[in-house]
Amino acid sequence: MAKMRCRMRLGEVPLHLYQVIAGFELLARRGVIELEIAWDTGRAAGKPRLPYNMLEVILDGEIRLLYDLNDGYDNLARDPDELYGPLLKHYDLCFKRSFSAKRNAALTHGGKIRPLGLNYWVTIPGSAAHRPAPLDPPKEKLKKLVRMLPITSHYNGWYTIETFEDEPKPDAPPNILFMARMWDVQGDPGWQLTEAKREERHYINEQRARTIRLCREAFGDRFHGGVAPTRFALERYPDLVIADRRAVTRRAYLERMKRSVICIATMGLHQSIGWKFAEYVAASKAIVTETLHYEVPGIFGEGRNYLSFRTPEECVEAVDRLIRDDRLRLSLMRNNRNYYRRHVRPDRLVLNSLMAAIGASRTEHGAAEGWM
């Protein structure tokens, strides 16, 4: 099979894009594809600037692909069709992290959208994503320089593929983990939130808070949980803050996650499936999650890869079920390991999208020839 030729165009490169960039780079290093990376500078005529958390790939010189790693549909525009309608007319397919067939049906070119899969901050040594991009904001350029230093807690080396991967542990005690952050309901500096988005943040915070409190009460020392010591959390949820700052470093969190068996996830901003969920899948954990609002490719679902809940009380019930049911717990862990290898690992996630794009192109060409 001839190598696929991929020309990637990058604008601003935030953390959400690292996984996809790493996937393309791994495929190139293994000789599966030929990869060229072009960096937008903001001065090219006739080239519209790529929206935040998106990158473009031209496959084999003709198939135009857009990768969208945004949390939802309305975080860049109040009316999603105002963004996606004009944008998608320039592409053959869009692979979207937060994929909803129902929401796509309401978009002008929603039929072009395909599910990309679970997203998390993961990278590989020497990735192009690590370098400050011409269109990165000055603050992000500085952060990228800091992430190159091994002495920092956000060192790129703490986010490589191998740091997340783990095998199911059938004989490990069913310890439980839920470490989270609280969102400032007034928004981030320089970012004005709508009333609906403030209410969403309040809901997320309260859901996480009650889940942690109930799990502490129900499971005692078997449960490890709390929230990061931000100013907002210290003011509003002081009883939940993890006081030891060393315990919330990246290294400490990864070590704790590897030792845990049952891991809890809640809804992210814009109803997204958060990074933690993908990290749990990569580490072969038995997952208990708040109801998922988006769809992923492949065979993945309730009772196979996770148990879901709507309320904190239901979360406690699901965790208790996994503690008592060794067979179910191990089944979830093994299924997540297999799903990770087929659909989440960066090179597989990207390869799956490229093969889907080629398949769709052949189908379209075949249909066109049938009418000639």
Its CATH class, for the domain covering 162-344, is alpha beta
Tokens representing 368 are 């066109």
Label each residue of the chain as H, E or C.
CCCEEEEEEECCCCHHHHHHHHHHHHHHHCCCEEEEEEECCCCCCCCCCCCCCEEEEEECCCEEEEEECCCCCCCCCCCHHHHHHHHHCCCCEEEECCECHHHHCCCCCHHHEEECCCCCCCECCCCHHHCCCCCCCHHHHHHHHHHCCCCCCCCHHHHEHHHHCCCCCCCCCCCEEEEECCCCCCCCCCCCCCHHHHHHHHHHHHHHHHHHHHHHHHHHHHEEEEECCCHHHHHHCHHHECCCHHHHCHHHHHHHHHHCCEEEECCCHHHCCCHHHHHHHHCCCEEEEECCCCECCCCCCECCCEEEECCHHHHHHHHHHHHHCHHHHHHHHHHHHHHHHHHHCHHHHHHHHHHHHHHHHHHHHHHHHHCC
For the chain, residues with pLDDT lower than 70 are 1, 44-46, 189-190, 364-372
pLDDT at residue 47, rounded to an integer = 75
pLDDT of residue 371: 40
Q: What local confidence, expressed as pLDDT, does residue 368 receive?
A: 42
Please tell me the predicted confidence (pLDDT) of residue 18: 99
Tell me what pLDDT residue 52 has: 97
Q: What is the pLDDT of residue 361?
A: 82
Tens digits of per-residue pLDDT, 38-53? 999 977 656 789 999 9
Rounded to two decimals, what is the model's pTM? 0.95
The confidence score (pLDDT) of residue 45 equals 59
The conformational region for residue 13 under phi > 0 = left, psi -120 to 50 = alpha, else beta, is beta
Domain-wise residue ranges, the chain: 4-139+346-370, 162-344
Dist. CA 68–CA 54, nearest whole Å: 5
- State residue 364's pLDDT score: 67
- Which pLDDT belongs to residue 43? 72
